[in-house]
Amino acid sequence: MRQRRIGLAQVNPTVGDLEGNVRKVLHWMDRARALGCDLVAFPELVLTGYPPEDLLFKPAFIEANLKALEAVAQASHNLTAVVGFVDRRDDIFNAAAVLHDGRRVGVYHKQYLPNYGVFDENRYFQSGTEAPVFAVGETLFAANICEDIWYPTGPTTAQALAGAELVVTINGSPYHAGKAHFREKMLATRAADDLVCLAFVNMVGGQDELVFDGQSFIFSEKGECLARGKAFEEDLVIADLDLDRVFRARLHDPRRRKEKLRAPERVPRITLPPLPPRETPALPPREVRVLESVEEIYQALILGTRDYVRKNGFRRVVVGLSGGIDSSLVAAIACEALGAENVIGVTMPSPYSSAGTRADARRLAQNLGIEFLTLPITPVFRAYQRALAKPFKGLKEDVAEENIQARIRGTLLMALSNKFGWLVLTTGNKSEIGVGYCTLYGDMAGGFAMIKDVPKTLVSHLARHVNARADRAVLPESVFTRPPSAELRPDQTDQDTLPPYPVLDRILEAYVEEDKGFRDIVAQGFEPATVRKVIGMVDKNEYKRRQGPIGIKITPRAFGRDWRLPIVNRFREP
């Protein structure tokens, strides 16, 4: 029986930390070797970190990455490894190096360069044209990269028709809610259609707005899932492949013979010397939990926050606690990500803060076990009013005075950040940021907007999830039942300005994530005046969103790199 043991090292690299990334690759390579793997694969651009963006315009960065690859190649003794790096010829390529027993023996260049959503690979790379197959003894395998696997008749099909029994695809596939399930179905279909064992290794970790969820897979030629990687954790995914099964399955498929005759190009074959025989210790039992949707999003927010804070050299974070549900959720996730000892909560009561929200902020801090500071803003607000008394004389208080309070709070939080080196986590959600229900240099002031891509209705589900996971009321019940309010004027509620959040979120999803227009959204049953108001607010507040901090992408279309609305924009749908 032709059985081969393969491993997928879903690791968490850091962009630009080539030395650290090499150490990580060598560590997991050693683990794979110790467990008897014949081949181990690492994610896309693992040596540089992904995405490296305009670092790719720096020749010194390209050269450092090539030196890093050489160090990894020399350490690949008694093993075959597939490692993502940047190749340099007359141009640069997103590449997979095939390393074998101490040397580099081949390279695959990514053919399909994504240029949509968060991807911008045409800006940096040239497309590859060849899809080689590698022969090690009686085993034929091939490698390709990320976007290549999404094309039904792409490089995987060509490599399988050229004899590859195993195709390894290395990936930096960013997370959004629901993507993992869709990706798994696609991969199972691709394996079955091409009658090939398919090994999909995905990166894990946070990089700026992006989170990579891991969840690597190994599929049989029938599309059966043989092994899966953990979600949002580094992991080594191992499976023993029976390649004779692939051969037998292909004998029973006459369509394949016809497809081979129509294959347009000759696929290069590279023959490698066999590796020395090795022991293959029994694999320990393994069970990987598939996360339900709210837990999956929750873990994405934890990982994205932890990596943004830690990889940027911060140790502690500070959160303004209003006593509301958004800041409560941000503080709870920060504690999960960084430890309660590294989270500081600050309450900044104004003349309009209710006793209930002040009590809830303190109760939340006690429940989480975090340091808690009280900085009343009323004296500072009164000083602002005195300073502005002359130009504001005879005018009613309005949004100007409301925003002054928010900006005082932002100033206090940033002062703490400057003095103690704490990163400020802002607490605005996607619903508020989408329609501009937020204050520039006020509640938008900070270093990282954890829930920037989380709609208000989802905030409530995640907050309930926090309590369910803890089996206690970490977030006080009153934060769920009290009407949402900025508390910047007497008896204020969010619904004075906005539609009810369930309505607002459905309209935002249709307009922002699905690109539906006014008529399409009204046809879904919404009031025309409400739809026009929401669309107008979204369009008019792009200038605010451009000036806010980045946050974690968890929906298919997040504000920021996914969304590029002009600030100067007079188009309004009739």
DSSP 483-513: PP---SSTT--GGGTS--HHHHHHHHIIIII
Query: How far, CA to CA in Å, does 345 sit from each of 2, 371, 374, 421, 480?
Result: 59, 6, 9, 15, 19
With a CB cutoff of 8 Å and minimum separation 6, the contacts of 407 are: 439, 441, 442, 445
Both ends of the chain: CA-CA distance in Å?
68
R_g of the chain, CA atoms, integer Å: 27
343-347 and 317-320: which strand pairing?
A: parallel
Contact 350, 405 (CB under 8 A): yes
Instruction: Please tell me the predicted confidence (pLDDT) of residue 551.
Output: 97
Q: What is the mean pLDDT of residues 78-83?
A: 96
Does 149 have pLDDT greater than 80? yes
Measure Cα distances from 142 to 106, 164, 330, 400 in Å. 10, 6, 44, 63
The whole-number pLDDT of residue 544 equals 95
Give mean pLDDT, residues 521-546: 95
For residue 453, tell me if it sits in a domain.
Answer: yes
Q: Does some domain include residue 481? A: yes
Alpha helices per DSSP H over 47-144: 59-74
309: how many CB neighbours lie within 10 A of its CB?
23
User: Can you give the pLDDT at residue 258?
Assistant: 75
Nearest to residue 365, comparing CAs of 337, 335, 389, 387?
335
- Residue 336 tokens read as 């999960």
Q: Is residue 501 part of a domain?
A: no
86 and 133 both lie in a single domain: yes
The string of pLDDT tens digits covering residues 304-355 is 999 999 999 999 999 999 999 999 999 999 999 999 999 999 999 998 888 8
The verdict on residue 61 lying in a domain is yes
Task: State whether 373 and 451 are in the same domain.
Answer: yes
Annotated catalytic sites, by residue? 44, 110, 146
Section 135-162 average pLDDT: 92
Is residue 268's pLDDT more than 90? no
Question: Does 343 lie in the same domain as 239?
Answer: no
What does the pLDDT average to over 131-140? 91
Distance CA(45)–CA(171), nearest Å, equals 8
List the structure tokens of 429. Answer: 């959600």
Whether residue 409 sits in one domain with residue 328: yes
Q: What is the per-residue DSSP string for 407-467?
A: HHHHHHHHHHHHHH-PEEEE---HHHHHHT-S-TTTTT-SSEETTTT--HHHHHHHHHHHH
Per the confidence metrics, is the pTM higher than 0.75? Answer: yes
CB 119 within 8 A of CB 553: no
Asked if residue 158 and residue 61 are part of one domain, the reply reads: yes
Q: Is pLDDT above 90 for 496?
A: no
More confident residue, 268 or 54: 54
Same structural domain for residues 265 and 397? Answer: no
How much is the average pLDDT of 92-101? 97
Is residue 509 a part of any domain in this protein? no
User: Do residues 302 and 218 share a domain?
Assistant: no
- Domain boundary (472, 494, 516) is at 494
Q: Give residue 137's pLDDT.
A: 85
pLDDT beyond 90 at 173 = yes
pLDDT of residue 357: 85
Q: Residue 236 — pLDDT band, cuts 50, 70, 90?
A: very high
Asked if pLDDT for residue 179 goes beyond 80, the answer is yes
Query: Residue 253's pLDDT band (boundaries 50, 70, 90)?
Result: confident
CB 406 within 8 Å of CB 302: no
Pairing mode, if any, of strands 217-219 and 197-202?
antiparallel
pLDDT at 231: 96
Residue 285 lies in a domain: no
For residue 51, cis peptide bond before it (omega within 30 degrees of 0): yes
Does 531 reside within a domain?
Answer: no
What integer pLDDT is reported at residue 483 of this predicted model?
A: 79
- Mean pLDDT, the chain, as a whole number? 93
* Confidence check: pLDDT of 492 > 80: no
- What was the pLDDT predicted at 264? 62
User: pLDDT at position 265, please?
Assistant: 67
Res. 260: pLDDT tops 80: no
At 506, phi and psi to the nearest 5?
Answer: -70, -40
Domain count for the chain, please give it: 2
**Do 334 and 464 have their domain in common?**
yes
Do 72 and 193 lie in one domain? The reply is yes
State the Cα–Cα distance between residues 225 and 288, nearest whole angstrom.
Answer: 12
Q: What is the CATH number of the domain that holds 480?
A: 3.40.50.620
Structural domain including 43 reads: 3-272
Least confident stretch, 196-205, 303-312, 350-359, 436-445: 350-359
Q: Are residues 378 and 412 in the same domain?
A: yes
pLDDT of 467 = 96
Q: How far, in Å, CA of 233 to CA of 336, rounded?
A: 14
Whether 1 shows a pLDDT value over 70: the answer reads no
Cα separation, 533 vs 303, whole angstroms: 36
Boundary (domain end) residue, out of 272, 304, 339? 272
477 pLDDT higher than 80:
yes
Instruction: Say which CATH number the domain at 200 has.
Output: 3.60.110.10
pLDDT at 207 over 90: yes
* Domain assignment present for 148: yes
**Same-domain status, 401 and 435:** yes
pLDDT above 90 covers a percentage of the chain that reads 82
Element (H, E) at 88: strand 80-88
> What confidence score (pLDDT) does residue 490 get?
77
Inform me whether the pLDDT recorded for 117 exceeds 90.
no
- Res 186: pLDDT: 95
pLDDT digits (tens, 9 = 90+) for 33-70: 999 999 999 999 999 999 999 999 999 999 999 999 99
Percent of the chain with pLDDT over 70: 99
Domain end position, chosen among 471, 494, 517: 494
Q: At what angle are helices 456-470 and 293-311 packed, to 10 degrees?
A: 90
Side-chain-facing half-sphere of 332: CA atoms under 13 Å: 29
Residues 241, 322, single domain; the answer is no
